[in-house]
Amino acid sequence: MSLGIAILAYQRPVKLEYSLQSYQNNGLFDLVDEVYLHFNGRTEETNKVMENWPNVSWGGDELNYGIGWGMIKAIEGLNTDSVLFLEEDFYLSKSKEETKEQIEAGLTALENGIDMVKYREVEDYKTTSNEAVKWATVDWRTEIRPSQWYIGFSDDWVFGDKHPELCTKINDKLYSMSSKHAHYSNNPYLCKKDFVLRLSRDVGFVTCKDPSKEDPPDPLYPGYGRHPDFEQQVWDYWLEQDYTMGIVKGLFKHYPEYGF
């Protein structure tokens, strides 16, 4: 199964360069057949960064069309069977050996019926075991909905071992659980390309509109027009599905809001 990396980037050249370096230094680029980066708003500074990466194809323009549309454009830029989706503010924090093991485990999972594998590093979740149980057992359709849901296991506790009613142990690298307890998000994930494109059509959030002309403007993005509520659209649809999610220790950490 061929594998490509789809990266969605914004106007953050320092984070972009650091992330690309982390992918290169920790062997991620050596494991894939293709890399495509899509800018949801690019600048002269981000263009200069890409001059240092001739092996990374890229596109996009100066406007921000929203996460949903940008994610699909990034994925559509690949010609591979499967896709590892990243945003430029997630850097690879694991060694070459661990990266290779987890990516191979994820691809094997896809070949054996897993729909999506999540790769945000569990130490980055700030979620304790008790909090995980709380969020995994509520009825999200009637109770408080966290904007995103992360679940996995760290060095000192394994969620799946403690809660077999929610998780199934596949091997030492991978647990699986229903998507009803593991929310989709635009954080790092691996899936077959046709799965996420089919999801986008089913949810209906992919609309290639001109953000400069749409009215009224989004107050969070002055000048860019109104964005679809990407997370909410996926959320409402996701709760009614029963996809099989792969849960691994994870490879990618999110940058703090300071220091970059």
More confident residue, 55 or 154: 55
Query: How much is the pLDDT for 7?
Result: 96
Instruction: Assess whether pLDDT exceeds 60 at residue 126.
Output: no
Minimum mean pLDDT range among 21-25, 75-79, 134-138, 199-203: 134-138
Quick check: 215 and 227 in contact, CB under 8 A?
A: no
Q: Which residues contact 150 (CB under 8 A, 6 or more apart)?
A: 118, 120, 122, 125, 127, 183, 185, 187
Minimum mean pLDDT range among 7-16, 39-48, 132-141, 170-179: 132-141
Query: How much is the pLDDT for 111?
Result: 95
- Reduced 3-state DSSP string for 7-48: EEECCCHHHHHHHHHHHHHCCCHHHCCEEEEEEECCCHHHHH
pLDDT tens digit string along 82-112? Answer: 999 999 989 999 999 999 999 999 999 999 9
pLDDT band at 139 (very low <50, low <70, confident <90, very high): very low
How far apart (Å, rounded) are the C-alpha atoms in residues 86 and 213?
28
Instruction: Assess whether pLDDT exceeds 50 at residue 15.
Output: yes
Token readout for 11 is: 């106007």
Query: How much is the pLDDT for 123?
Result: 58
How far apart (Å, rounded) are the C-alpha atoms in residues 196 and 189?
10
How far apart (Å, rounded) are the C-alpha atoms in residues 108 and 121?
19
Minimum mean pLDDT range among 49-53, 133-137, 139-143: 139-143
More confident residue, 242 or 49: 49
Half-sphere exposure of 156 (CA within 13 A, CB side): 4
Query: How much is the pLDDT for 99?
Result: 96
How far apart (Å, rounded) are the C-alpha atoms in residues 32 and 47?
23
As a whole number, mean pLDDT of residues 147-163 equals: 43
- Cα-atom radius of gyration of the chain, to the nearest Å? 18
How far apart (Å, rounded) are the C-alpha atoms in residues 146 and 150?
10
Domains and CATH numbers, the chain: 3-254 (3.90.550)
For the residues of 128-178, what is the DSSP string, one character each? -HHHHHHHHHS-TTTS---SS----B-SS-BHHHH-TTT-EEEETTEEEEE
